[in-house]
């Protein structure tokens, strides 16, 4: 019985409690004023609870792969220079962008295990997160993870509706593959910056699941580095 309840009752992030409470109070007031508005507010409350869900995930722990940092749709794959604030140098990297709509789970997870070498918050605008210019101009929070495969960049990008990026970790912390690293409230995007030698295993339009979908396998250079570490 307890197992069945756990499978249905997905945990809710505490960051969502103030929003859920506000929606619920609004629903009560609107029910008192006019029932149709109350039902609309009740539906919005249910959506808010759904938005802040934090389901458990089963991560394929493997230092030779990178798992998805976010739930959503793979919106772009390309070769670009990483954001300057990450201090990853001027060499091109392979970028995989994952767009999260307002119905996706917005808890972000570490694509690799390692040490958080840098966290760089950059204030900015709120363009549609699916646009390429969002990587450069939107509000964002970048993390650099020093892993066995080298430095990996993860950038949380705010979107049209998103107005708050939350980071769960700190510079210098050790983090496990698939561990929660933060969330973005109400629609956004996460960019993953990988070495050029990484083999991307997903396609544009594919749905990714944070902490579970294998995004890429690291190339020969990374595997040689791992062998030296071992």
| Tens-binned pLDDT, residue by residue, of the chain (230 aa) | 334 334 446 788 888 888 889 989 999 998 888 888 889 989 989 988 888 889 999 999 899 999 999 999 999 999 999 999 999 998 999 999 999 888 899 899 999 999 999 999 988 666 655 666 656 667 889 999 999 999 999 999 886 655 578 889 999 999 999 999 998 876 688 999 999 999 999 999 999 999 999 999 997 666 566 656 66
CA 6 and chain centroid, separation? 24
**Residue 205 shares a structural domain with residue 112:** yes
**Residue 82 shares a structural domain with residue 28:** no
74 within some domain: yes
CA distance 118 to 103: 30
pLDDT at residue number 130:
60
57 within some domain: no
**Residue 121 shares a structural domain with residue 200:** yes
Identified catalytic residue from 68, 135, 147, 188 = 188
pLDDT at residue number 36:
86
C-alpha distance across the termini of the chain, in Å = 45
pTM of the full structure? 0.85
Residue 1: strand pairing partners: none
**Residue 14 shares a structural domain with residue 82:** no
CA 161 and chain centroid, separation? 16
- Total domains in the chain come to 2
**Residue 122 shares a structural domain with residue 217:** yes
pLDDT at residue number 135:
64
Of residues 115, 148, 135, the one with CA closest to residue 226: 148
User: From the CB of residue 66, how many other CB atoms can be counted at a distance below 10 Å?
Assistant: 30
58 within some domain: no
Domain that residue 12 falls in: 2-51
**Residue 110 shares a structural domain with residue 205:** yes
146 within some domain: yes
56 within some domain: no
Asked if 188 is an active-site residue, the reply is: yes
Distances (CA, A) of 38 to 29, 34, 103: 7, 6, 22
59 within some domain: no
**Residue 30 shares a structural domain with residue 85:** no
Of residues 99, 46, 93, the one with CA closest to residue 68: 99
**Residue 46 shares a structural domain with residue 107:** no
């Amino acid at each position: 019985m307890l197992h069945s309840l756990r499978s249905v009752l997905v945990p809710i992030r505490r960051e969502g409690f103030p929003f859920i409470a506000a929606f619920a109070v609004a629903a009560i007031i609107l029910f008192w004023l006019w029932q149709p508005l109350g039902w609309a507010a009740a539906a919005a409350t249910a959506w808010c609870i759904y938005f802040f869900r934090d389901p458990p995930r089963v991560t394929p722990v493997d230092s030779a792969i990178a798992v998805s940092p976010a739930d959503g749709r793979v919106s772009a794959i390309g070769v670009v220079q990483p954001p300057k604030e990450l201090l990853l140098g001027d060499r091109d990297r392979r970028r995989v962008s994952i767009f999260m709509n307002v119905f996706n789970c917005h808890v972000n997870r570490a694509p690799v295990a390692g040490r958080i070498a840098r966290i760089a918050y950059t204030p900015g605008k709120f363009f549609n997160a699916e646009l390429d210019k969002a990587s450069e101009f939107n509000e964002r929070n970048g993390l650099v993870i020093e892993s066995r495969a080298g430095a990996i960049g993860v950038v949380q990008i705010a979107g049209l509706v998103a107005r708050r990026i939350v980071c769960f970790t700190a510079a210098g912390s050790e983090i496990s593959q698939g561990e929660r690293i933060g969330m973005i409230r109400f629609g956004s995007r996460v960019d993953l910056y990988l070495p050029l030698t990484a083999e991307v295993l997903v396609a544009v339009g594919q749905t990714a699941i944070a902490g579970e979908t294998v995004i890429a396998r690291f190339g020969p250079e990374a595997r040689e580095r791992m062998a030296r570490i071992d």
